[in-house]
Each structure stands twice: as C-alpha cells, then as structure tokens.
Structure 1
Amino acid sequence: MTEVSRPAQGGRARGEVFWVFLRIGALSFGGPAATMGLVHSKVVLGLKWIDKRDFLDLTGMVSVLPGPNAVEMAMHIGRRRAGRAGFVLGGVAFILPGALLAAILGALYARYGTTPAAAWLLYGIKPVVVAVTAWTVVRLAQSAKPRRPARAVLMVVVAVAYVLGVDELLLLAAAGVLALAARLRHTALPKKPGALMLPLAAPTGQSDLVSLAGVFLKAGALLFGGGAVLLALLRGELVVDRGWITETELLDAIAVGQVTPGPVLNTATFLGYTLGGPLGALVVTVVVVLPSFALMAAAGPLLRVIRSRDWTRAALDGITLGSIGVLAGVTVEFARTGITDLLTVGLAAAAALTLWRRPQSALVLVAAGAALGLLRLLAHHLM
C-alpha cells in the first residue's frame, strides 16, 4: 500500500489543495478519464495525499454519482488534505480554468458567432492523454488484484463491451451486481438499509435568469454518463421545450465543453454567457455543480458505511473493477481519434516511455502536448 503523507495544517494545506487542482484543472483536456490519470499521477504517486486503495474506492463511488466525476474527486481529496476549506477549494480550483476559458469563448461567440480554432490544441494533447490514461489503467489494474482470474476477466469484458457501445452506467451496475452475487454465495445478505433519498425541485419563477438556473440545476442533478447525456438533457430543455437556442448553437456549446480543460460542464458556462451574459455564466456555473457539492459533502461518511459492510464492500469492488474496464475502453476511443499520423504515434510512445521512467510527470507531459498544439496552430497561420 502507498505510504500516505500526513495532512498539512492551516493556510499551507489550503494553498496546496488550491494550487494542485488549479494546475490539474488547467490541463484536464479529454474529460474525466484523462483527469483520473492526472490525479493518480500527481496526488497518489507524487504527493501521496491518498493511497491506491482509497483512490480505487473513490473512482468506483464517483462513477455512480450524478455530476462531473472529476470535480467530485477533487472535492473529496481536497477535504482529506485540508478539511472543509479543502473540500470547497479543490472543487472550485478544478472548475476555474475551464469555466473562465468557456466564458471567454462564450463572449467571442456572442459577438462574432464563432469561436477560435481551439481544436488545434488537441492535436498535441490527445496522444499524451492516450498514454496517460493507458498508464493509469495499468497501474489501477495492478492495484485491483488482477491475479484473481474472475477480477481480470470482469475488467476485460467491461472494456470490450464499452468499445462495442454498451452504456457505461449499465456496465458499472452489472459489475456491481455480479461482484455482490459472488459475495452472497459465501455469506448471508444483511438486513437492507433504508434507501437514501435526495429530494430535488428545480426553482421556478418569472425571471429568465431564474429559469436558466433551474434548467442547469436539473441538468447537474441528473447528469449520469458524461457529455452524451448532457447533450440529450440540454437539447430537450433548451432546444425542444423552450426554443432558447438552435441545434447548431447547442452543438457549438458541446464542442466548447470538449476543447476546454476540466469538466464537460464548461458547456454550461458557455451557454450561460450566450443566454444571460456574464451574470448568466456565473449563475449557471454555480448551480450546475451544486448537486455534486451536496452529494460529496456526505461522501466521506458514506464511504465509511460502504466499507463497514461486506455486501456493500463487494458491490463497490465490482463497480471499481468496472470503472477500470470503462477507463480501458475510453483509452481505446481516445487512441482512435487522437493518434492520426506518425507524429502523434511518436508523441504517444514518447509519453508512455516517460511515464514508465517518471510516473509523476503526467502534468508536464500534457502541458508539453498543449504547447506543441499551439506551435502547430501558429505554423498553420504563418503558412
């Protein structure tokens, strides 16, 4: 088990949490899978704020909660390091870089009807993300006792099913049920605890800003499964039901969420600006992550409860194994879109070799990939 450093105290601890997750948030291109690799490299292997077992449990837990998984991970780790202040600072710091960039792109879009060619950045970043996520899959799989044949088979089957198009949440649920069923073959099922309910009602009112806040509060509370689910939720609310934006404008907003660092919910900040100006961007950014903050406030006690019961421990283990399989499937998808020529093949190979020698270098590698993308953009404009 990884040796864990003792939490720091006071302002030093809060500053560490804010700065670490600000840097991770600024370089988290590629969604939650890429972020998981960056967090694992920096926080588990480098700073040793949590151990591998805690990271695996956290991965499984946030995978089945609504909202942006990467933000929830930052909040939980921030609380472990610096208490309540770290909980808030970890989440805010991770969100901040992408939200600011999305707001800027929203302002440009509102003024000019288009956004800069930010996708050029991804040319250099995607191959590095492939290497980082692949390396993370290997390290997590090693920590998940893969020598037990059933566990290794479960991870592989989930990975293959994900690549074939099976829904991510369905795969995680199936993995949890299978692990629980295996556990129940050897022990009696304890008395079922009461269900945990989270009442939620979207705010209502005459103000467009209040209505906008209500739409994105609902989206944040119901967001399971990432960008595709967000697209469906926002299309139903903003395009079909209310007619506030067109299909093309929604697709442009989703594209902004993909090319900006941090969570895909940067889409919300972009739409908040285009629909309500700077205040709309601020309000939407806050309300869309409120459900995640509320859920993660109870995550520490919940994780302790899960660990204290054999059957919930077994279900979480299954979900964790499923999460590793999904991450492997995501890596394959990244490779399909990110490795497109000999240069990107070389980038991915160089990043993998660097990670093998220096596992803590993921943040530096992603920054280098972004710099290469900017150089390619500059060369394109000079030609």
Structure 2
Amino acid sequence: MTQIDTSRPSAVDTGNRFPTIGEAFRVWARIGLLSFGGPAGQIALMHRILVEEKRWLGERRFLHALNFCMLLPGPEAQQLAVYIGWLMNRTLGGVIAGVLFVLPGLVAIMVLSWIYALYGNVGVVAALFFGLKPAVLAIVVHAVMRIGSRALRNGPMIAVAAASFVGIFFFDVPFPIIVLGAGLLGYIAARMGSGAFVAGGGHGAASGAIVEDADTVLGAEIPDHARVNAGWAVRVGAVCALLWLVPSALLIAVLGWDNVFAEIAIFFSQMAVVTFGGAYAVLAYVAQEAVGNFGWLAPGEMLDGLGMAETTPGPLIMVTQFVGFMGAFRGAGTMDPLLAGTLGGLLTTWVTFVPCFLFIFIGAPFIERLRTHVALSAALATITAAVVGVILNLAVWFGLHVLFGEVVGYSGFGLSVDLPVLASMNWVAVALFVLAALALFRFKLGTATVIGLSAAAGCGLYLLGII
C-alpha cells in the first residue's frame, strides 16, 4: 500500500475548515474521473488532492481513516472516500463522495460491456483482448509478489498462505470458508497470547499506517457529527441495509431463486461481506463461481473484464459489473439481451457497493474501538496472509487459461484440479506475458501502460496475420 509521509504538520489537524457541499462535489467528481491505477494509486490521489492540495484534512487524520477502512470487507479506496466525505460533510458528504468515486467507472465499464457483447467476436476486437490477457496475468502475478512481500513476514504467515492456496486450488474450498477459517485462527491465537499472526502486520501494517491515541489523532477540533452517536449509526445503518437487501428480496419473491437476476443479487451480496484482502482475492472467488458454477463467463472472458477494470477509473472490483452484465445478457430469456445485461450490471454494482456505505456509516463513529482491538487485528492479519494464497490461485488459474489452449479437469482422492495439456501451449501468449512481466518488474511501467501496449501488440499481430 502507498507509503505516506507523516513528517509534515497536519493541515486540518491544526484547524483548517472543511469544504462546503458544492466544493466537495466538484473535488470528488475530479477524483472519480482521475482514479486510475488500482487502490494504491487511488489512495495516493486522494492524499495528494485532499491533504496536500486542498488541505482539508491532515496527514494523521487521513491515515486514521485509512486504518479503519483497511479493517473492512470491500474496496478500501472507495470506503476511504465515503469515510472522508462523511467526516467533512456528514452523511450527505459520504454519499456524494462514494457515488462520484464509482460513477465514472460504472459508465465506462457499461459502455465497454455493450461493445464486448456486440462486437467481441469481431477479429480486431478479439485480437485486442487476446493481447490484453497476458498483460492482466502479469499484473496479477505482480500483485502476488507485492502483497506477499508485505504480509508473509514469518513462518506461520507463510504456512497460512500455503494452506490457503492448497485448499482453494486442489480441494475447491470456498473463499468465504478460507476467510472465516483464517480469521478465526488469528483471533484464537491472539487470545491465547501468541504474537505469530501479529508480527506479519495485517492491513494496517501493510498500509504504512501509524497507531496513535484517538485524541492525539483527531484532536479537539473533531466535528460533532464524527463523535460516537449510536442513534445516528442505527438509523443510517438501517436505511443502508434496507436499500441493500430489499431489492434482492423482491427479486427472489417475484422471479424465484433460479432466475439470473436473483442469482446475481444473492451471489454478489454474499461476496460483499467476505471481500477482505482487496479485489484480486475476491476475483479468484468470482471467476471460479461465475465460470464454473453459474456459467456466466468463459475463463478468458474474466480476464477481458479485468482488463477493462484496470484501464478505467474507479475501484478494480468494478469488474464484477461486467460479470453481472454478461450473466444477465446470456440468461435474458424473453427479455432483450442488452436491456437484461444493463440491468444485471447495475444490479451487481448496487449490491456490491451499497454495503460499503453501510459498513462506514455504522462503524465510523466507533473507529477506535475496532482499530485498537488486538485480537481483531490479528484475525485480519491472518486473513491477509490467507489472501496471498488465494491470489496465487487466481494467478495460476488465469495462467492455465491464458497460456494453454486446452485444460483438463482431474478428480480423485479428494482432489479437484485443472491441469494443462502441454501440447496446447500458446507460445505467442507466453511471449506477450514475458514481455508484460518484464515491463512491470524490470522497467516499473504502470499497469495502464502495460495493458495498452499489450493490447496494441495483439492488434498488430492480428494485422500481420500471426494470430
């Protein structure tokens, strides 16, 4: 996670004013349009604009908010936007910040989904996505290395990551079970006095955040609405919960459990509460369920969607909108496929992001009680270690379907695993993957640049008749 300099004086921590709603709206719209580069880049962007440029809050308060968001399931950058928006302009400010952070990506992914559904099999479009897939694979491998280097600081953490990979790759252990199991292990170990799952530094350590006393961080000038108010939290939390759950319940009541819209609502609502560890960890779960269980996508199509999310503004988890779009597009029944896909994509985004507002508005007033809980911190650190194994599974799973033209399933002795047919190796894809990996690891190019170059290479190979 982005390292943030805490050596300079804090701006708002020394008394600067918060913005008006109009000022906040304009700045959050700007942040939403510029929020490329995944969570690290998005958090750095918010820090540059809100702390360094506008000086609406100080370094310590920004880190304090980031610490809290790291404790929650869901996209931490979007939740950080909601939290800071709430801190500066109450509930309306949080809603504005959260919506504007997601809106540009929602529109971009929707337009790309329409193009993909209508023209994805056209030669040059297919070639563009052929070139994109190896780059996305390299980005996921890069994420494994980056997150693993921060989270796996000792033997127990490495063992948790290894067990997580073996469980999900070889035995199809569901991602929610891995998250719950790892969290329970870390919690019990901490309660028993073990520091094994704290030394690796969970989310907070990965962020480079600091831990300070609440009064020191927030100071006497903390706005009244940011103080503990159980009544407000219950009221706003109830509204968010109803907005999240009622549409899903109505869909199930009207359409039945087996309808594609009901399946989308249920699946992505479940995902919203177990998405610890960032988007890459969740995507392993989404990819395997969307491809293997629901049949919404082919394996390569998940990589296409991830490429869209990597090159558009907004949280990386916006790729789920593409998944919901394609699932409803293909399961439209008597409905117009494009209309069904559009509704499916919007439904996916709704049930994925409304819980973020719920978690922030309920938890923000009680931030210190959560953040300073040692056993909870250990549980989250252990989940982070398990997530490394889950992301490694995602990299291997993607690699099998990008670098090989044929994969066969093997089941036996309790195992359930996909194995590549070595003779089907696609050497062009291998070459593009190696070049993309060199660009990321050796030359430190940005993800958007690597994806753009790789996609252009795919188009060039198509025009030359090589693919």
**TM-score bracket for the superposition, by shorter chain length:** 0.5 to 0.7
Matched, 1:259 2:270: no
Partner of 1:242: none
Listed one character per residue, the Cα deviations across residues 353-376 of structure 1 (whole Å, up to 9, x for unaligned) are 122xx6xx2222222222222222
Partner of 1:158: 164
CA distance in 1 between partners of 2:71 and 2:463 (Å): 41
Listed one character per residue, the Cα deviations across residues 245-267 of structure 1 (whole Å, up to 9, x for unaligned) are xxxxx556x76554232314413
Partner of 1:362: 447
Matched, 1:374 2:459: yes
215-224 vs 365-374, greater mean Cα deviation: 215-224
- 302 and 369 in structure 1: CA distance in 2 versus 1, 3 angstrom threshold: farther
Cα RMSD (Å) of the superposition?
A: 4.1
Matched, 1:43 2:42: yes
Larger RCO of the pair (alpha carbons < 8 Å, separation 6+): 1
Which of the two has higher C-alpha Rg? 2
How many residue pairs get aligned? The number is 325
Matched, 1:230 2:290: yes
CA distance in 1 between partners of 2:449 and 2:324 (Å): 28
Match of 1:93 among 104, 109, 121: 104
Contact 2:82 2:98 in 1 (8 A): yes
Listed one character per residue, the Cα deviations across residues 257-292 of structure 1 (whole Å, up to 9, x for unaligned) are 542323144133235456333543333222222222
**What is the identity, as a one-letter code, of the residue corresponding to 1:259?**
D
Residue aligned with 1:354, SS: coil
Matched, 1:346 2:432: no
CA distance in 2 between partners of 1:55 and 1:158 (Å): 26
Partner of 2:313: none
Matched, 1:180 2:187: yes
Contact 1:78 1:88 in 2 (8 A): no
**What is the identity, as a one-letter code, of the residue corresponding to 2:27?**
A
CA distance in 2 between partners of 1:284 and 1:369 (Å): 30
Gaps of 5+ in 2: 12-17, 49-58, 86-93, 195-237, 275-284, 310-318, 404-425
Partner of 1:31: none
**What is the identity, as a one-letter code, of the residue corresponding to 2:160?**
L
Partner of 1:65: none
**What is the identity, as a one-letter code, of the residue corresponding to 1:318?**
T
Mapping 1:189-338, distance limit 5 Å: 201-203=249-251, 213-223=261-271, 225-231=285-291, 234=294, 250=296, 256-260=301-305, 261-262=308-309, 263-273=319-329, 275=332, 276-277=335-336, 278-300=338-360, 301-302=362-363, 304=367, 306-338=370-402
Contact 1:17 1:86 in 2 (8 A): no
Residue aligned with 1:3, SS: coil
Partner of 1:13: 27
- 97 and 353 in structure 1: CA distance in 2 versus 1, 3 angstrom threshold: same
Q: Percent identity?
A: 14
Partner of 2:81: 78
Residue aligned with 1:169, SS: helix
Q: TM-score, normalised by structure 1?
A: 0.68
In the TM superposition, residue 296 of structure 1 has moved relative to its aligned partner by 0.8
Partner of 2:414: none
In the TM superposition, residue 101 of structure 1 has moved relative to its aligned partner by 1.9
**What is the identity, as a one-letter code, of the residue corresponding to 1:226?**
V
CA distance in 2 between partners of 1:53 and 1:318 (Å): 21
